[in-house]
Amino acid sequence: MSDALWAARLGDALNHTSMMADILGGVLEVAANIAITAVATAAVVAATGITVATGGLGCFLLGAVVGAVVGIAMSKTGADKGLSNLCEGIGNALFPPTVQANILTGSTDTLTNNIPAARAAGAIESHVAPAGTELEEPQPEPSYLDMAESFFSQMWRPTVATPAPGAVPKPLDMITCLKHPPMPPQFLAEGSDKVTINGQPAVRSGDRSTCEATVVSSGLISPDVTIGGGTVVVREIRSGKTPGVGLAVTALLMLKGGKGKFLSNLPCMLIGGAASMAVSSAMGAAANAAMGSSNPVHAATGAKVLGDVEELDFVLPGILPIDWQRFYNSRDERREGLFGAGWSVAYEVRVEILLHPEGGETLVYTDEQGRRIDMGSIPLGGAVFSPGEGLNVRRHLNGELLIESADGLYRLFAPAPGNAALLRLNQLGDRNDNRIHLDYDESGRLVRLRDTFDLVQAELAYDARWPHRVSRIERLYPDQRRDVLMHYDYDSQGDLAQVRQSNSQLKRRYAYDLGRRMVEHQLPTGLRCFYEWALIEDREWRVVRHWTDAGDTY
pLDDT digit string (tens) for 137-150? 555 556 656 655 55
Question: How much is the pLDDT for 138?
Answer: 54
In a domain, 190, yes or no: yes
pLDDT on residue 237 = 93
Q: How many residues does the chain have?
A: 554
Residues 239 and 122: their CA atoms lie apart, in Å, by 19
Q: Is residue 132 part of a domain?
A: no
What distance in Å separates the CA atoms of residue 472 and residue 324, rounded to the nearest whole number? 12
Range of the structural domain that residue 109 is part of = 1-16+97-124+142-256
Q: Are residues 1 and 71 in the same domain?
A: no
Determine the 3-state secondary structure of 77 from DSSP: helix
User: Are 232 and 288 found together in one domain?
Assistant: no
> Other CB atoms closer than 10 Å to residue 213's CB: what's the count?
30
Same domain as 24, residue 9: no
Q: Which residues of the chain have pLDDT under 50?
A: 1-2, 44-45, 50-77, 127-136, 252-257, 271-294
* pLDDT in the model for residue 53: 39
Same domain (yes/no): 276, 373: yes
> 111 lies in a domain?
yes
Tell me, yes or no, whether 129 lies in a domain.
no
Q: What is the DSSP letter of 133?
A: P
**Do 404 and 536 fall within a single domain?**
yes
Beta strand 528-536 with 518-522: parallel, antiparallel or unpaired? Answer: antiparallel
Residue 234: its pLDDT value, please? 96
Is 416 part of any domain? yes
Residues 489 and 530 reside in one and the same domain: yes
Q: Pick from 202, 236, 256: which residue ends a domain?
A: 256
Q: What is the pLDDT of residue 168?
A: 93
Q: Verify that 512 and 397 share a domain, yes or no.
A: yes
Backbone angles phi, psi at 45, to 5 degrees: -60, -45
| Residue 103: closest CA among 152, 197, 172 | 172
Residue 133 lies in a domain: no
Residue-wise pLDDT tens digits, 422-472? 999 999 998 777 899 999 999 999 999 999 889 999 999 999 999 999 999
For residues 96-109, one letter each, b for 16 or more C-beta atoms within 10 angstroms of the residue's C-beta and e for the rest, the string is ebeebbbbbbbbee
288 and 386, same domain (yes or no):
yes
CA distance 328 to 315: 18
CATH number at residue 10: 2.60.200.60
- pTM tops 0.85: no
Q: Which contacts qualify for 470-477: CB closer than 8 Å, 24 or more apart?
A: 470/338, 470/339, 473/313, 473/314, 473/324, 475/316, 476/448
Q: Are residues 106 and 61 part of one domain?
A: no
- 88 and 107 within one domain: no
Residue 227: predicted pLDDT? 94
Q: Which amino acid is at 105?
A: T
> Of 69, 25, 74, 254, which is closest to residue 151 (Cα–Cα)?
254
C-alpha 354/C-alpha 186 separation (Å) is: 49
Residue 186 falls inside a structural domain: yes
Domain total for the chain?
3
**pLDDT value at residue 40:** 54
Out of 200, 226, 256, pick the residue that ends a domain.
Answer: 256
Q: Are strands 482-490 and 470-476 parallel, antiparallel or unpaired?
A: antiparallel
Indicate if 366 and 294 belong to the same structural domain.
yes
**Which of 208, 231, 256 is a domain's end point?**
256
Looking at the structure, tell me whether residues 204 and 351 fall in a common domain.
no
Query: What is the model's pLDDT at position 533?
Result: 97
The pLDDT assigned to 279 comes to 30
Identify whether 503 is part of a domain: yes
Angle between helices 19-48 and 56-77 (to 10 degrees): 120
